[in-house]
Amino acid sequence: MAARRRRPGPRPRPLRPRHNGGRGGHRPPGGPRRRHPPPAQHPWSARRGGLPAAVPRAAPDGNRLTFGYCARYEIDHKGVDLLIDGFAAYRRTGGHGVLELAGSGPARAELERRAQAHGLGTDIRIHGPVFGPEKAAMMAGWHYFALTSRYDVMPTGCLEAALSGLPLIVTRETGLVPYVDGHRAGFGIPDLTPGAVADALAQAERAGPGIWRDMAANAHRMVVAIGDWGRIAARLRAAGYGRPS
């Protein structure tokens, strides 16, 4: 008696991962889908379009500026002590601006004590870390982004700030002064001293609203040029294959 052939059953459905809109993990059955905000900025290329637009900003009201800092509270690396000491010197010589800092790290308490020793009072605000909409709202009230690093390489915080239309006040050690000077996108600090920081802050105050608007637009254009992946790819091809495209 011939063996009966079994009819094939339905093919098993392939397992597909359940995406919860974020990194890792699974959405529990019947649970709400978690939604995460998209990245702040995608790569761009002038050849392919999609260049990031400038963020509208209000010019300073007279000489009442807000200088902002958003990075880790690393004293030796980021030079936050230089920033506070330089700001205090700027205020003592008649400066009218205020300084607002946001960041994380164990040095926050030391920086607060430093500000108190200078008697800065409400002219300085030292916050913890901020992210997302809270960070954007805080930076919307700033007129300059200041970073007085003792050593650094193209700090991301500066690039993000300039892309949003904030002129920069930076030390040579950030690697950004040639770009800032070349694009007229802010002020470079030539020395790692409180006096040099104070001078740069005073220059920013004397610039006035008209020059500030030009620097804000230039800061945005500067970072668009630095981060243009069409240009970056061309330089990489030239370095690797000896041809620009």
> pLDDT tens digits for 130-170?
999 999 999 999 999 999 999 999 999 999 999 999 999 99
In a domain, 220, yes or no: yes
> What is the CATH number for 147?
3.40.50.2000
In a domain, 18, yes or no: no
**Mean of the pLDDT values across residues 93-107?**
96
In a domain, 61, yes or no: no
Q: What is the pLDDT of residues 184-222, one digit of tens each?
A: 999 999 999 999 999 999 999 999 999 999 999 999 999
Q: Structurally, how many domains does the chain consist of?
A: 1
In a domain, 158, yes or no: yes
Range of the domain at 171: 66-226
In a domain, 86, yes or no: yes
In a domain, 35, yes or no: no
In a domain, 182, yes or no: yes
Distance, in Å, from the CA atom of 56 to the CA atom of 237, rounded to the nearest integer, reads 36
In a domain, 3, yes or no: no
CB 149 within 8 A of CB 79: yes
